[in-house]
Each structure stands twice: as C-alpha cells, then as structure tokens.
Structure 1
Amino acid sequence: MRFVDTFFQHAYSSNPFIHKASFNVNTASRSLVLAILLFGLTYASPESASAYSEYFGMVEYLIFEGPEFQQLLRQKDHPVVSTAIIQLVQAAILIIELQGSQAKVEIKRRIRVQRLPALIFVVRLLNLTKMVNDTILDSHVVTLEEYLRKETLVRVMAWVYLVDAHCVIFYHSPPQIRLFEADFSLPMHDTIFDAIHPDETSSVTLDQRSQASPLTLRSVVQRLMEDKPIDQEAEPPQVNSLFGLFLILSALHCVLFDLQAIANITNTPDTLKPIERALDRWKLIWDSKYTEHQLSSIGPSGFMVHALEFWWLGKRLVKNPHMFSMRGEVAADSTGAFHEMIKSLKGGQMDQDVSQLPVG
C-alpha cells in the first residue's frame, strides 16, 4: 500500500519503535495500520493533510476510546504483553504525534492532558518502565526473535518517554515520567533493529557478546551527574545507538526542569551543577560517536540529527536559569514562549541550527 510504504521510507527514521522487517499489513492490528496510513499520508501529500484532519480525530477516538484500550485502563493486575497490546500502544504513540502537531489548541490540549497521561498509565501497567533487553544474540533465529521483541518493548517505552520530554522542552510542562522510575534499558544497536535479513546483524552480534549488561536510562543519567570521575574510555561503547544518546539528553532536560524549580525556591547556586556536568559528559560521548558515524549516517535518524541543538539549549538554560520563569505559563498550549526564549538565549537572533529544532 502506497501510504504504508511512504511511512517506512520517510517517517520510520523518526519513529524507530516499529520493527520494519516483521511488519505485515495483513496481520497487523487495524489501529496500527490506520495510524501508519495517516502518518504516510502526511508525508506523501503534506499539502492535503489538513483535508483529512477529521480522520485523525476518528482514529484517535478509535484507539483511545476503543474496547481494547479501555480494558487496559480498567486492569488491576499487570496483563501479559501480547503482540496485540504492543501494536495498540504503537498506534497510540503515532496518533499522539500526529494530533500533537495539529494547529488547533483544543486538539493539542486534549493530547497533552488526556491522551498522553492515559498512555503513560498503560506503559506503567505493562511494566515497560522496567523493560530491559538482556538477550545475548547468537546464531539462533529464536534468540534473534526474542531480542527483537524485547528491543521493540524498550523502544516503545523510550518513545513514550521522548513524547513526555517533548512536552517538557517545548510546552514547559512538568515531566510525567520521573527519572527514578526510568529503569528501562537504552535502545540498542540500530543496525540490528533496522536489519531486513538476519545476515546483516552478524558483525554487530559478535561485538555485542563482549558488552556489559544493558544500561538503564536511570543509571546512565545518574552516572553522568555524579560528582566523581567517569572512565570515558569505557562509556561510549555501551551507549551504542543514536536513539539511546538522544534519550539520555532528553532525560537531562526533564531533570533540568525539576532542578530549576528547586533552584528558584532555594536560591542555591550549585543546584544545576550536576546537570552541567552531565551535559559536558554527554557531549564527550556524542563526539566519540560522531567520529564513528559520519553525518550521512546520522541523517536518517530523523529529528535526532538535532541532538547538538538540544545540548546547546540545555547548556544555555543552565547558565541562564532565569529564562525558565520568563516563559510564564506552565503547560502552555503553543510553542510561542519557547521560540521567544530561544531568541532571548541567542541575544535576539536565532541561528539557523536552533531555528530548525523540531516542534509539534
């Protein structure tokens, strides 16, 4: 189907939480297929997307008000994470992205106030906040299937976290997922997850056997913030995906949001020091990866190519914490205050790189 192909050709790089090689339009859930179709439509015919906006709302309603999602909201115990549930959560993420990019304030507000909190409740219910991909790959197909299943769950959880962080950065919303509960592992090798044939994973498989246990988002952020030396020689190989690096940076922005609120109350000058330390260490890791992956290989990673601009923003906010209070409204309905803040941080002139920060 045209729009499904368009999604995987153009939108997938910005949404790497659906395993492309195993996706089958004939067996996938209706909700996921519809969400992918609409996403593909916005890329294939962006000028016509507004004409189909009512369908976006219909699919949103179908997903979040449908019996499957509503049943999850009523669950008392942790349900088994079936393929159907995984695809339902994936569909919910996609429609949140689509609807969150709409111009109408009421749609943006509904997504942030109703849909995203409901989705976060579901991933907590599914214990995805503790999901770790600890599968060691070998030559067995069964092992690869288990690896990909766990990696899909990790990436789904990571993407929900990124959506929450997006609201923190662009809409000045308090984070809903706190770092203390972020015990899910970092997304691992993009090469393995994006591979179409198992043979493409062989070189990465051999390298993975020598890796330590997978790092969780919480543990990495804590280590970067610690007031003691970190062995930089050992750190970069463990953060082995650009997705993982961007996730860490987004988490630092969420922690920065909370710490600046404390700093404004206590007037303690060193409150933001751990974040500044972590940002500097993150940059060292990024630079070590950037020398390995040229710009051509970073480009397909969608908006993650803007990671350095997000790093710049974090550094400037640490140096200018008063900018947080200047944004005024908490949980705003537009990105207007964000853009004004960027202009102020740049001395009234927004440079080209920062002006390209993706907003929704």
Structure 2
Amino acid sequence: MIDCTYTFWDKGDLEAPDLPITFLRNYTDPHLESVSDAFALSAAHPEPFDELRESFSNPTNYMYDDYMEDLFSGVFSDFHANENVEPVDSTRTPTPFLSSPLSEQRTQAILSLLTNQHNLAPGAFRFPGGQFPVELASAAFTGNNIVKCVTAFFTVSHLYAPFIHRPSLDLEKVALPLLIAITLLGSVFAAPQDDALSVRCFFELGEELIFRSLHQVRTVSDQLNDESIQIVQAAVLMHALQMDSNNDSVRLRIRALRFPAIVAALRRLELFETVRKAQPGLADWDRFIADEVKIRLAARVFMTDCMSTLFFKSPPQITVVEVGGDLPSSDALFEASSSAEFSRVVASSEPFEPTMRSLKNLVLLFLDDEWAGPEAPTLAVVGSEHLISLMFAFQSLVFVSRTGLLVSSTFPRLLRATNRWKEVWHIVSSREVSSGGRLVGFAKYGLELWWLTQKILELAQREDTQFRYMVNRPTDSLKELHDFIQRYAEGQPT
C-alpha cells in the first residue's frame, strides 16, 4: 500500500517534484486496456462494503462459494486480502439485491428492450448477420448474472463516485435503462467468465438504448421525477463505461455526441441548481436522499466535464458559475442504510456553512483577494472530495484562460488559488487519514493534480507549445498528456 504522507515543494521547482507522479502516469498510459487499471496499479482503489463482503463469504448465499475469489481475480485481487477487515455491523440493513436473483419478468423486459432497440437499426451493431443474438443475450442477462454484475458495480465502481442511493435501490422497480447501465458497467469488474464476458458484447446496443431514453428526457419531459433522474444516472454510467476504454473512436462518439446530451438533460431538469430543502439535522431521510441524489449527480457531471477538459482538451461545456447547487454531503450520510442510521450520522456531523454550500462559492473563496488562511472556520467542513472537485474546476478555468488569451491577466490569481488549495489539502487529507479514513482514486493523489495544474499554468504563461498537449486542439487519446507528464516528471520513480 502506498503511504499517504505527502511531501511539498516550492512552486518554482516544478521541473523536479518531490514525489513520484505515479497515478497520473498510469491513468494516462494509452497502452493500458482501460484507465480503471490505473486505480489498481496505483493502489488507489476502495475497500468493499462490509455487508457485501459478508454476503460474498456466506455459503448460504445463492452465489457459488468461490465467487469472491473469482470476482477479484484480476487487477482488483487484493480487495479481499485485507487482513485488517473490521467486524460486520449486524445492525445494518442488508443490501436487498444480494439475497436473490432478478425475477424472470424483469429479465424478459430487459431482453425485450434490447431486441427492440436492435431492430430499430440492425445494421448499426456488430452482431453476426445483422441479427439480434437471442441465445447470447438470454445467457448474458439471466437473473443471477444481472445480480452478480450489479454487486460487482457496487463493490468497486460505485465507491469512487457514489451518486446512486444503494440502500433504497430496488432492482424490481428501478428504471430499466439504469438497471441495464449498472449491469453493463458491473460486468467490467465481475469475474471474467463466460456469462460476464457475454454482457460486454452489448455495450454499444446498451449505449444506444440508454441515450435514446435520455433524448426523451431532454427534449420532451421537463418533469423532475424518479424515472427521469434514473435515466440521467444511466447515461452518466454509460458515459463512464465507454470512456474507460482506450479506444479513440468510441471516445470521440461519447465526447462529441453523448456528453452534450447529458449536459442538456441536467440543464433542462435544473439539476445544477439543486439545494437541500433543509439541512440534514432538520430533514427526514427520504427528503434528504431525494435532494442528495440530484446534488451528487450534478457534481459528478460537472467533474466529468472538467476531466474531459484536462485529459482531452475538450472545451468546457459547463461554466463554473452554473454549479451553484449545494456541495455533496459526506458519504456516510448518503450511504446510511436506514432512517435510524441516518439520524445517528447526522448527530455526529456538522452542517455546511451557508457561504460554503456550492462549488461556485468555493472557487470564489480561493480566488478572492481576501484569504483567512487554510484553517478558516468556513473550510472546516470541506472534505478531500470537495477539494478534488475544486482542483478540476481550476483546470476548467485554466483552459478557458489560456484558450481565451487571458493567461497574462489571470495567471497570478490562479497560481495563488492553487497554492492556497495545496495548504488546505495538507490539512484536510491529514485530518481524514488520521481519523481512520482512506483516500481513494484521485483523492489519494491530489497533489499530483496540483502539480499538473501549476505546470500547465507555468507553460501557458510562457506560451510554451513545444508539447502537443499545450496546443489547444481536442484529442481522444491520452497519449499527449501522458507524454507531457513523462517529460516533466522525468527521473521520478514509477
């Protein structure tokens, strides 16, 4: 396990950072089959939930006994090898979809949707003879296999960016596009056996089906209801699945055609402006979760936009001023599995300060001439995930500045803001680790993002375009950024 202790360096010493740029090197490596491999290579993955671990190890579970072994037999093999696993809290409500396979009625509904979608444009999908593969689909989308893929999704992918409320998810009632998206994405993390591999043959068909449903949300319906939210969630998951593969042609389609549709749907539903009806201490569990799902979905889409700007030089499609909704609450509040547990977590949590509710406010605070220091009371409730979102927001601002010929006037303020970020990051990350938390994903390597942001700022100010990455043309390959990082992190251990 990589140590979470960080070493800081002066902003004038960007040529030789005092820590290995390990994670971003791996994440941008175009030779990897998928970018998710970087999380395992850099030990940036999360731990499975206790109740999922309990269910996997329970011999009475419908899944076969060696399922846990098979599920993580690939790059995530050390998930279940942790010798310091905490005891399972028997008071927690078990995850409902672990106890039994999906009903025959639901599996048939999925098969019917996929068949109908294929028949709308049979030549668009790479199936032999242009015919829908009935036998393959029937073998892939069985009740057991769907539940296995859903379980794999919530055990791995969900933990990086939870915006689906797992405890209240009912597989028998959830919108079918969302169930299909979870199944498709979960198949990537499930055991590499025939049934899971068969699911992966339906990625493109599932993508078309889900974005066709999204089209209805963004062009026909302006009603914010559970189904419209779930369809947007499905589209976001499908976007993540297809962008994960190092396939430039797929990425071009997703980046240029699919993501704008997601942004349009969120604007139509006004999700970027979502604020809680009441603070957690005053809200009931159902109302809080309903608001939190919207808040987290908007936050995820904005961060995805910023990531596309950083990694593929895609012009931002969402402005920072648009993200005026509340910041996400803690994962502990969101993942509370019952009203009683929610109340317990609320009792030990601090509410957000009114001035710190939105990412827009957070950006303004760091850009402002006035600065109360990294330990200011208004920053007390800011967590590592908020700071990662903030750093990606800075990347959006940096891109707009350098492509709009504004770097000369904005450079001092952006440099100052990112240096303030580093000071706060040291305090927040140390606090979370010392309290028993575990930084995962980008949060574990936040300082690498800080270094990269300042390096891009430095070269933009000098109008240095010797590397293709600094030429402002969108790309669908990570190679340009990978070469850029390799050059400026040269000599550091891998």
| Residue aligning to 1:298 | 438
Q: How far did 1:228 drift? A: 1.8
Given residue 72 of structure 1, which amino acid in structure 2 is its aligned partner?
V
Establish whether residue 234 from structure 1 lines up as the match of residue 377 from structure 2: yes
| Residue aligning to 1:39 | 185
Change (3 A) 1:207 1:99: same
Q: How far did 1:207 drift? A: 5.0
Given residue 63 of structure 1, which amino acid in structure 2 is its aligned partner?
I
Change (3 A) 1:46 1:181: farther
| Residue aligning to 2:135 | none
Change (3 A) 1:175 1:284: same
Match of residue 333, structure 2, among 174, 181, 192: 192
| Residue aligning to 2:218 | 73
Given residue 184 of structure 2, which amino acid in structure 1 is its aligned partner?
L
TM-score by length of 1: 0.86
Contact 1:137–1:209 (Cα < 8 Å) also in 2: no
Establish whether residue 175 from structure 1 lines up as the match of residue 316 from structure 2: yes
Q: How far did 1:266 drift? A: 5.7
Higher RCO (CA 8 Å, separation ≥ 6 residues): 2
2: distance between equivalents of 1:180 and 1:137? 25
Establish whether residue 106 from structure 1 lines up as the match of residue 252 from structure 2: no
Given residue 285 of structure 1, which amino acid in structure 2 is its aligned partner?
V
Change (3 A) 1:55 1:229: same
Establish whether residue 85 from structure 1 lines up as the match of residue 228 from structure 2: yes
Establish whether residue 121 from structure 1 lines up as the match of residue 232 from structure 2: no
Equivalent position SS for 1:294: helix
User: Quick check: 182-191 or 224-233, which moved more?
Assistant: 224-233
Change (3 A) 1:332 1:84: same
1: distance between equivalents of 2:224 and 2:203? 26
Contact 2:384–2:429 (Cα < 8 Å) also in 1: no
User: Quick check: 275-284 or 145-154, which moved more?
Assistant: 275-284
| Residue aligning to 1:358 | none
Contact 2:350–2:381 (Cα < 8 Å) also in 1: no
Contact 1:236–1:289 (Cα < 8 Å) also in 2: no
Change (3 A) 1:333 1:3: same
Q: How far did 1:138 drift? A: 3.6
Contact 2:280–2:351 (Cα < 8 Å) also in 1: no
Q: Deviations over 1:203-237 (max 9, x none)?
A: 54235565422511111101101122235321322
2: distance between equivalents of 1:215 and 1:340? 38
Contact 2:309–2:316 (Cα < 8 Å) also in 1: yes
Equivalent position SS for 2:215: helix
* Percent identity over paired residues: 25
Change (3 A) 1:89 1:324: farther
TM-score by length of 2: 0.64
Q: Deviations over 1:293-329 (max 9, x none)?
A: 1186234x44432322112211222223245673235
Change (3 A) 1:288 1:64: same
Change (3 A) 1:55 1:74: same
User: Quick check: 287-296 or 206-215, which moved more?
Assistant: 206-215
Establish whether residue 258 from structure 1 lines up as the match of residue 400 from structure 2: yes
Establish whether residue 336 from structure 1 lines up as the match of residue 489 from structure 2: no
Contact 1:343–1:350 (Cα < 8 Å) also in 2: no
Equivalent position SS for 1:275: helix
| Residue aligning to 1:245 | 387
Q: Deviations over 1:81-100 (max 9, x none)?
A: 11101110110000001111
Change (3 A) 1:47 1:206: same
| Aligned residue pair count | 340
Given residue 398 of structure 2, which amino acid in structure 1 is its aligned partner?
L
Q: Deviations over 1:175-225 (max 9, x none)?
A: 110112121221111110122233433454235565422511111101101
Given residue 338 of structure 2, which amino acid in structure 1 is its aligned partner?
H
Contact 1:73–1:122 (Cα < 8 Å) also in 2: yes
2: distance between equivalents of 1:22 and 1:242? 26
Contact 1:131–1:184 (Cα < 8 Å) also in 2: yes
Change (3 A) 1:306 1:54: same
Q: How does 1:276-295 map to 2 (within 5 A)?
A: 276-294=415-433
Contact 1:195–1:201 (Cα < 8 Å) also in 2: yes
| Residue aligning to 1:162 | 303
When the two chains are superposed, the root-mean-square deviation of aligned CA atoms in Å is: 2.4
Change (3 A) 1:33 1:325: farther
2: distance between equivalents of 1:96 and 1:255? 23
Q: How does 1:320-359 map to 2 (within 5 A)?
A: 320-321=459-460, 322=463, 326=467, 327=469, 328=471, 330-346=473-489, 348-349=490-491, 351-352=493-494
2: distance between equivalents of 1:181 and 1:144? 27
Q: Deviations over 1:118-143 (max 9, x none)?
A: 1000000110111122522247xx71
| Residue aligning to 1:225 | 367
Contact 1:137–1:147 (Cα < 8 Å) also in 2: yes
User: Quick check: 319-328 or 97-106, which moved more?
Assistant: 319-328
| Residue aligning to 1:57 | 204
Change (3 A) 1:164 1:323: farther
> Which structure 2 residue ranges, 5 or more long, are not aligned?
1-146
Q: How far did 1:16 drift? A: 0.7
